[in-house]
């Protein structure tokens, strides 16, 4: 059902799949679980659930700089619902095909709706981008825009629809875009493969910039100064976000699935020119530990923002 690959010696249907990693390449492995009502709205479309289940795992491979190769799917669902399963499979297949990753194993059981995907990628080991390599002076950059998924989730939860009247068309289009960012995140696989050549450290933004960048800083034993006025935002976000929640939506909410990367400041322009997604420099790594936020005037902001936490 997904991308055929010559390195799959034996696919689904036996006790195990058999895969042929390329000699000398390291294997990157990641696993993520999605639970209805927790990681996606209960009323999300089946296509979107399938898409997102794979996307969040591809995003982890991207952060490492790995080339996606194979994945397994464990799907527990309350009942056999053919139309839901078809939609789910379509969404999964659409992203798998686009990412050249092959489904090689699965287990379907009856139970609560829980989806676990384990994704495997490969790369030359020295090119793997860890969280621990950030150095003082590095530029802190992010791909794409921040806050769209969080704003989309808020509209979704409020069951927002575009109302008749002036501006209806524009709002409807923006809403659609925000919902797409929420339900069908685009893992930055291509960007990850390019960035691995220059990045000292990287992470994917699943829980929010504040928390996720914090992981890099902790692992690297450094700090960072971030300019909140430089956080990239989409036009849709700019038009419709509640001003008072701007920062929270951009740095304390999750589901962006952009990459946050620390790299030598002098390489930013060069690598930006080669990417197919915007790369924005939002601050610098410092030897002084801690994550500090500044506004455009250079005033330090007294905020304590942490990302989404499980078990809260």
Instruction: Decide: is 1 part of the binding site for a second copy (CB under 8 A).
Output: no
Site size with a second copy, rule: CB under 8 A: 60
Select the residue interacting with a second copy from 114, 180, 265, 275 (CB under 8 A).
114
Beta strands in 173-303 (DSSP E): 201-204, 223-227, 259-263, 279-286, 290-294, 300-301
Select the residue interacting with a second copy from 3, 45, 74, 94 (CB under 8 A).
74
Token pair listed for 82: 């053919």
What is the smallest separation between the CB atom of 15 and a second copy, expressed in angstroms?
A: 4
Instruction: Decide: is 306 part of the binding site for a second copy (CB under 8 A).
Output: no
Closer to a second copy by CB, 73 or 178: give it.
73
Continuous segment of H or E residues that includes residue 190? helix 189-195
What is the smallest separation between the CB atom of 124 and a second copy, expressed in angstroms?
A: 11
Show contacts with a second copy in window 214-243 (CB under 8 A): 219
Instruction: Decide: is 310 part of the binding site for a second copy (CB under 8 A).
Output: yes
Select the residue interacting with a second copy from 3, 5, 41, 76 (CB under 8 A).
76
Site string for a second copy, 38-57 (x = CB under 8 A): xx------------------
Half-sphere exposure of 104 (CA within 13 A, CB side): 24
Cα–Cα separations (whole angstroms), residue 189 to 87, 106, 224: 24, 23, 25
Instruction: Decide: is 98 part of the binding site for a second copy (CB under 8 A).
Output: no
Q: Measuring CA to CA, which residue among 83, 97, 92 is closest to residue 34?
A: 92
**Which distant-in-sequence residues (6+ apart) come within 8 Å of 288 by Cβ?**
223
Instruction: Decide: is 18 part of the binding site for a second copy (CB under 8 A).
Output: yes
The string over 294-312, giving b where at least 16 C-beta atoms fall within 10 Å of a residue's C-beta and e elsewhere, is beeeeeeeeeebebbeeee
Instruction: Decide: is 173 part of the binding site for a second copy (CB under 8 A).
Output: no
**Which distant-in-sequence residues (6+ apart) come within 8 Å of 81 by Cβ?**
none
Measured distance CA(149)–CA(179) in Å, rounded? 7
Measured distance CA(99)–CA(94) in Å, rounded? 9
Select the residue interacting with a second copy from 9, 173, 235, 301 (CB under 8 A).
9
Contact residues for a second copy (CB under 8 A)?
9-10, 13-21, 23-24, 26-33, 35, 38-39, 60-61, 63-64, 66, 70, 72-74, 76, 80, 104-112, 114, 116, 118, 120-121, 125, 128, 130-132, 202-204, 219, 310-311
């Amino acid at each position: 059902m997904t991308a055929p690959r010559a390195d799959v010696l034996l696919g689904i249907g036996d006790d195990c799949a058999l895969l042929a990693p390329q000699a000398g390449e390291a294997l990157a492995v990641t696993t993520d679980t999605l639970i209805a009502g927790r990681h996606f709205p209960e009323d999300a479309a089946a296509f979107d659930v399938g898409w997102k289940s794979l996307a969040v795992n591809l995003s982890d491979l991207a952060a490492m700089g790995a080339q996606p190769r194979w994945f397994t799917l464990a799907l527990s669902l309350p009942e056999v619902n053919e139309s839901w399963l078809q939609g789910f499979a379509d969404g999964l297949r659409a992203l798998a095909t686009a990412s050249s990753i092959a489904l090689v194993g699965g287990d379907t059981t009856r139970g609560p709706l829980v989806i676990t995907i384990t994704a495997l990628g490969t790369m030359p080991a020295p090119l793997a981008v860890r969280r621990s390599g950030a150095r003082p002076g590095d530029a802190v950059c992010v791909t794409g825009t921040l806050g769209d998924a969080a704003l989309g989730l808020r509209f979704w939860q409020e069951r927002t629809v575009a109302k008749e009247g002036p501006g209806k068309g524009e709002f409807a289009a923006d809403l659609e875009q925000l919902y797409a960012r929420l339900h069908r995140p685009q893992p930055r696989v291509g960007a990850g493969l390019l960035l691995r050549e220059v990045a000292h450290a990287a992470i994917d933004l699943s829980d929010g910039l504040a928390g996720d960048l914090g992981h890099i800083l902790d692992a690297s034993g450094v700090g960072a100064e971030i300019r909140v006025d430089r956080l990239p935002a989409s036009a849709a976000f700019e038009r419709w976000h509640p001003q008072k929640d701007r920062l929270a939506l951009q740095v304390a909410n999750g589901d962006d699935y952009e990459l946050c990367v620390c790299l030598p400041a002098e390489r930013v322009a060069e690598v930006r020119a080669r990417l197919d997604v915007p790369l924005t420099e939002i601050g610098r790594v410092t030897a002084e530990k801690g994550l500090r936020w500044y506004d455009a005037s250079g005033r330090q902001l007294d905020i304590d923002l942490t990302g989404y936490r499980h078990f809260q």
